[in-house]
Amino acid sequence: MLRIYLDTNVWGRPFDEQSQHRIIEESEAFFRILDGAQRRKFIIVGL
């Protein structure tokens, strides 16, 4: 199974100011990663 490493700044991205398009996209990507992990498509490793 694919393992994805997420470092600390990724976990905090949804809590950053969402006024820039790049930050919004990164936050959405983070939630897609969480969704994939919940559906057991891959495993998240790291803190």
Closest CA to 13 of 37, 31, 1: 31
Q: How many domains does the chain have?
A: 1
Within 13 Å and on the Cβ side, how many CA atoms surround 5? 2
Tokens of 1: 């199974």
pTM of the model: 0.84
> Does residue 7 sit in helix, strand or coil?
coil
Q: Residue 30: which domain range?
A: 2-45
Alpha-carbon distances, residue 12 vs 9, 17, 41 (angstroms): 5, 11, 22
pLDDT tens digits, one per residue of 3-41: 999 988 999 999 999 999 999 999 999 999 999 999 999
